[in-house]
Protein backbone atom coordinates (compact mmCIF):
# COMPACT_ATOMS: atom_id res chain seq x y z
CA UNK A 1 0.00 0.00 0.00
CA UNK A 2 2.90 2.35 0.78
CA UNK A 3 4.37 1.74 -2.68
CA UNK A 4 1.06 2.62 -4.32
CA UNK A 5 0.84 5.80 -2.23
CA UNK A 6 4.41 6.74 -3.21
CA UNK A 7 3.59 6.13 -6.87
CA UNK A 8 0.39 8.22 -6.77
CA UNK A 9 2.04 11.10 -4.90
CA UNK A 10 4.85 11.31 -7.43
CA UNK A 11 2.47 10.95 -10.37
CA UNK A 12 0.72 14.06 -9.02
CA UNK A 13 4.03 15.87 -8.59
CA UNK A 14 5.18 14.81 -12.06
CA UNK A 15 1.91 15.86 -13.67
CA UNK A 16 2.32 19.43 -12.44
CA UNK A 17 6.10 19.74 -12.70
CA UNK A 18 6.09 22.51 -15.28
CA UNK A 19 9.09 24.79 -15.18
CA UNK A 20 11.79 22.43 -14.01
CA UNK A 21 13.17 21.41 -10.66
CA UNK A 22 12.81 24.52 -8.56
CA UNK A 23 9.21 25.00 -9.61
CA UNK A 24 8.37 21.51 -8.35
CA UNK A 25 9.80 22.10 -4.86
CA UNK A 26 6.59 23.58 -3.43
CA UNK A 27 4.71 20.47 -4.60
CA UNK A 28 7.27 18.17 -3.02
CA UNK A 29 7.10 20.20 0.18
CA UNK A 30 3.31 20.04 0.26
CA UNK A 31 2.87 16.34 -0.53
CA UNK A 32 6.00 14.86 1.04
CA UNK A 33 6.69 17.13 4.04
CA UNK A 34 3.38 18.67 5.07
CA UNK A 35 0.75 16.07 4.11
CA UNK A 36 2.60 12.77 4.45
CA UNK A 37 5.42 13.65 6.88
CA UNK A 38 7.87 11.48 4.96
CA UNK A 39 10.54 14.18 5.33
CA UNK A 40 11.14 16.98 7.81
CA UNK A 41 11.79 20.48 6.50
CA UNK A 42 15.48 20.08 7.32
CA UNK A 43 15.56 16.86 5.31
CA UNK A 44 13.81 18.72 2.48
CA UNK A 45 16.59 21.31 2.49
CA UNK A 46 19.17 18.51 2.47
CA UNK A 47 17.24 16.88 -0.36
CA UNK A 48 17.60 20.00 -2.49
CA UNK A 49 21.34 20.13 -1.79
CA UNK A 50 21.85 16.47 -2.59
CA UNK A 51 19.69 16.69 -5.72
CA UNK A 52 21.78 19.60 -6.95
CA UNK A 53 25.05 17.72 -6.46
CA UNK A 54 23.96 14.59 -8.31
CA UNK A 55 23.46 14.44 -12.06
CA UNK A 56 19.94 14.59 -13.39
CA UNK A 57 16.78 16.61 -12.87
CA UNK A 58 15.99 17.68 -9.32
CA UNK A 59 12.46 16.21 -9.42
CA UNK A 60 13.71 12.75 -10.39
CA UNK A 61 16.55 12.86 -7.86
CA UNK A 62 14.06 13.95 -5.22
CA UNK A 63 11.66 11.14 -6.08
CA UNK A 64 14.47 8.61 -5.87
CA UNK A 65 15.68 10.02 -2.54
CA UNK A 66 12.22 10.10 -0.95
CA UNK A 67 11.33 6.66 -2.32
CA UNK A 68 14.53 5.19 -0.89
CA UNK A 69 13.95 6.79 2.52
CA UNK A 70 10.31 5.69 2.72
CA UNK A 71 10.42 2.19 1.19
CA UNK A 72 13.98 1.30 0.20
CA UNK A 73 14.96 0.34 -3.36
CA UNK A 74 11.42 -0.65 -4.43
CA UNK A 75 10.23 2.74 -3.16
CA UNK A 76 12.93 4.53 -5.17
CA UNK A 77 11.90 2.70 -8.35
CA UNK A 78 8.17 3.28 -7.84
CA UNK A 79 8.53 6.98 -6.91
CA UNK A 80 10.86 7.65 -9.84
CA UNK A 81 8.57 5.89 -12.31
CA UNK A 82 5.58 7.78 -10.93
CA UNK A 83 7.42 11.06 -11.33
CA UNK A 84 8.47 10.37 -14.93
CA UNK A 85 5.26 8.79 -16.24
CA UNK A 86 3.15 11.96 -16.71
CA UNK A 87 5.90 13.89 -18.52
CA UNK A 88 6.82 10.90 -20.65
CA UNK A 89 3.20 10.45 -21.72
CA UNK A 90 2.75 14.15 -22.45
CA UNK A 91 5.99 14.30 -24.46
CA UNK A 92 4.94 11.30 -26.56
CA UNK A 93 1.62 12.96 -27.39
CA UNK A 94 3.24 16.32 -28.17
CA UNK A 95 6.00 14.70 -30.21
CA UNK A 96 3.38 13.13 -32.43
CA UNK A 97 2.07 16.57 -33.38
CA UNK A 98 5.43 18.35 -33.50
CA UNK A 99 7.05 15.78 -35.78
CA UNK A 100 4.08 15.98 -38.11
CA UNK A 101 4.95 19.69 -38.61
CA UNK A 102 1.85 20.95 -36.91
CA UNK A 103 1.98 24.19 -34.97
CA UNK A 104 -0.04 23.99 -31.79
CA UNK A 105 -1.17 27.57 -31.08
CA UNK A 106 -3.00 26.51 -27.92
CA UNK A 107 0.20 24.99 -26.51
CA UNK A 108 2.22 28.12 -27.33
CA UNK A 109 -0.30 30.35 -25.53
CA UNK A 110 -0.48 27.97 -22.57
CA UNK A 111 3.31 27.91 -22.14
CA UNK A 112 3.50 31.71 -22.28
CA UNK A 113 0.90 31.87 -19.53
CA UNK A 114 2.75 29.34 -17.38
CA UNK A 115 6.02 31.31 -17.27
CA UNK A 116 4.95 33.89 -14.64
CA UNK A 117 3.43 31.15 -12.49
CA UNK A 118 6.64 29.14 -12.65
CA UNK A 119 8.69 32.14 -11.54
CA UNK A 120 6.28 32.50 -8.61
CA UNK A 121 6.67 28.83 -7.67
CA UNK A 122 10.46 29.14 -7.70
CA UNK A 123 10.26 32.26 -5.49
CA UNK A 124 7.92 30.47 -3.07
CA UNK A 125 10.31 27.51 -2.82
CA UNK A 126 13.29 29.79 -2.16
CA UNK A 127 11.48 31.86 0.46
CA UNK A 128 10.05 28.80 2.17
CA UNK A 129 13.46 27.13 2.42
CA UNK A 130 15.01 30.38 3.67
CA UNK A 131 12.29 30.85 6.30
CA UNK A 132 12.42 27.25 7.49
CA UNK A 133 16.22 27.26 7.61
CA UNK A 134 16.64 30.39 9.72
CA UNK A 135 13.38 31.01 11.55
CA UNK A 136 11.55 29.00 14.19
CA UNK A 137 8.26 30.34 15.56
CA UNK A 138 9.01 33.71 13.97
CA UNK A 139 12.37 34.08 15.76
CA UNK A 140 15.71 34.03 13.96
CA UNK A 141 17.74 31.01 15.01
CA UNK A 142 21.26 32.42 14.73
CA UNK A 143 22.70 29.04 15.71
CA UNK A 144 21.31 27.65 12.44
CA UNK A 145 23.40 30.14 10.46
CA UNK A 146 26.81 28.60 9.99
CA UNK A 147 29.41 31.35 9.48
CA UNK A 148 31.27 29.42 6.77
CA UNK A 149 28.06 28.77 4.84
CA UNK A 150 27.00 32.42 5.17
CA UNK A 151 30.41 33.65 3.96
CA UNK A 152 30.39 31.18 1.04
CA UNK A 153 26.89 32.38 0.08
CA UNK A 154 27.85 36.08 0.14
CA UNK A 155 31.12 35.52 -1.75
CA UNK A 156 29.51 33.19 -4.30
CA UNK A 157 26.59 35.57 -4.84
CA UNK A 158 28.99 38.49 -5.27
CA UNK A 159 31.19 36.60 -7.72
CA UNK A 160 28.18 35.57 -9.77
CA UNK A 161 26.89 39.13 -10.00
CA UNK A 162 30.16 41.00 -10.52
CA UNK A 163 32.53 38.60 -12.22
CA UNK A 164 29.96 36.49 -14.04
CA UNK A 165 31.40 33.23 -12.74
CA UNK A 166 29.74 30.19 -14.24
CA UNK A 167 28.29 27.42 -12.12
CA UNK A 168 31.33 25.14 -12.27
CA UNK A 169 33.59 27.95 -11.08
CA UNK A 170 31.14 28.77 -8.28
CA UNK A 171 31.02 25.14 -7.16
CA UNK A 172 34.84 25.04 -7.03
CA UNK A 173 35.01 28.36 -5.14
CA UNK A 174 32.28 27.16 -2.74
CA UNK A 175 34.10 23.89 -2.09
CA UNK A 176 37.40 25.67 -1.46
CA UNK A 177 35.71 28.20 0.84
CA UNK A 178 34.00 25.36 2.69
CA UNK A 179 37.24 23.45 3.18
CA UNK A 180 39.25 26.53 4.20
CA UNK A 181 36.51 27.92 6.40
CA UNK A 182 35.88 24.67 8.21
CA UNK A 183 39.59 24.18 8.84
CA UNK A 184 39.82 27.69 10.29
CA UNK A 185 36.49 27.50 12.09
CA UNK A 186 36.77 24.01 13.54
CA UNK A 187 40.53 23.69 13.84
CA UNK A 188 42.80 21.37 11.99
CA UNK A 189 41.57 17.79 11.59
Predicted pLDDT at 122? 78
Q: Are residues 89 and 175 in the same domain?
A: no
Q: Are residues 177 and 126 in the same domain?
A: no
Q: What is the mean pLDDT of each run of 10 residues along the chain (189 residues)?
A: 94 81 82 92 83 81 92 96 91 78 72 80 78 74 76 87 84 86 66
Q: Are residues 157 and 182 in the same domain?
A: yes
Predicted pLDDT at 11? 94
Among residues 104, 107, 116, 120, the alpha carbon closest in space to that of 26 is found at 120
Q: How far apart are CA 12 and CA 22, in angstroms?
A: 16
pTM score, whole prediction: 0.64
Predicted pLDDT at 64? 92
Q: Are residues 92 and 150 in the same domain?
A: no
Q: Are residues 117 and 161 in the same domain?
A: no
Long-range contacts made by residues 130-134, C-beta under 8 angstroms, separation at least 24? 132/41, 132/42, 132/44, 132/45, 133/45
Predicted pLDDT at 189? 47
Q: Are residues 157 and 132 in the same domain?
A: no
For the residues of the chain, what is the DSSP string, one character each?
-HHHHHHHHHHHHHHT-TT-HHHHHHHHIIIIIIIS-SS-HHHHHHHHHHHHHSSS-HHHHHHHHHHHHHHHHHHHHHHHHHHHHHHHHHHHHHHHHHTTT---HHHHHHHHHHHHHHHHHHHHHHHHHHHHHHEETTEE-GGGS-HHHHHHHHHHHHHHHHT---HHHHHHHHHHHHHHHHHHHH---
Q: Are residues 82 and 25 in the same domain?
A: yes
Q: Are residues 102 and 179 in the same domain?
A: no
- Domains: count for the chain: 2
Predicted pLDDT at 31? 93
Domain of residue 182: give its range: 146-189
Q: Are residues 177 and 95 in the same domain?
A: no
Amino acid sequence: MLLLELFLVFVQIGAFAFGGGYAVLPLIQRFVVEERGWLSMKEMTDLVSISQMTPGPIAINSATFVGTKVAGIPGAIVATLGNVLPQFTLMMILAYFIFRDRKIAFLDRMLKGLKPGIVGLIAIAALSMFRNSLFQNGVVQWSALHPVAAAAFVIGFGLRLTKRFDMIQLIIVGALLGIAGNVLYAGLP
